Amino acid sequence: MSAAGDDTIVSAAGLEACIGKTPGAMNLKVVDHLDAGARKWLAASPLMFAAFASQDDIVIRLGGGVRDFVHVVSEGRLRIPTMMIDDLVSVHVGDGFGSLFLIPTIGETLRVNGRVAAIDGEAVEIAIEECYIHCAKALIRSEFWKAQPGADVPQDVTTFLGACRFIALATADAQQHADVSPKGDPAGRLLRCEDKAAVFADRPGNRRVNPGRTPCRVF
């Protein structure tokens, strides 16, 4: 709770009081490099949600188009072609990086986090800090790979959010450590508008929290 006595959560302790602490076993699956399994995953993935966090803001972008679109420089470095990411105008060296890589028909996702180490005319280079496989529950609940184009695209925000079944939620802490979390539920249960805000349920999961997060972004 905040000092003002409202329902705003302003600290990691306040959030953990609501959702619980990160299970100890969660940290056992996190490595600080791209191991053999991660490299195979990246080679098969044609789709990425990527977040870039500065001191003042965080943006999330969609990337990919073909399998094996990223280049593994080493266990600790990853290069992403700039032509494979939407709009990198606001991205700078030193920004935090969080990503979620998907493989068609597979429910699990690969989460790769780190920091922007270099940018040139052809690619963004990422120094890896975290890498781990995320469970399939979000994609299963949303039926992500079974989705079909709707006959009519909702034109108003409330109806659009009500029809959504999947979101990629990007957050970052005060040190710009970024993270992208998949959220999925059937249409009508994932998102709703409430007091000019989009509200969603936080399902049981990794419960990864950090104090001092910057404003979150949703793709």
The pLDDT score that the predictor gives to residue 218 is 56
pLDDT of 51 > 90? The answer is yes
Q: From CA 38, how far away is CA 70, in angstroms rounded?
A: 12
**Residues whose CB is less than 8 angstroms from the CB of residue 1 and which lie 6 or more positions away in sequence, other chains included:** 7, 8, 9, 10, 14
Residue type, 161: L
pLDDT tens digits along 111-169: 999 999 999 989 999 999 999 999 899 999 999 998 877 777 788 888 888 888 999 99
Domain spans in the chain, listed from the N-terminal domain onward: 25-218
Model confidence at 212: pLDDT above 70: no
| 25-218, CATH topology level | Pnp Oxidase; Chain A (2.30.110)
pLDDT band at 102 (very low <50, low <70, confident <90, very high): very high
Q: Given a cut of 70, is residue 15 above it in pLDDT?
A: no
The total number of residues shown for the chain amounts to 219
* pLDDT over 90 (residue 56): no
- The pTM (predicted TM-score) of the whole model is 0.83
Residue with more model confidence, 69 or 26: 69
User: Would you say the C-alpha torsion 171, 173, 175, 180 has a positive or negative sign?
Assistant: negative
Mean pLDDT, the chain, integer: 84
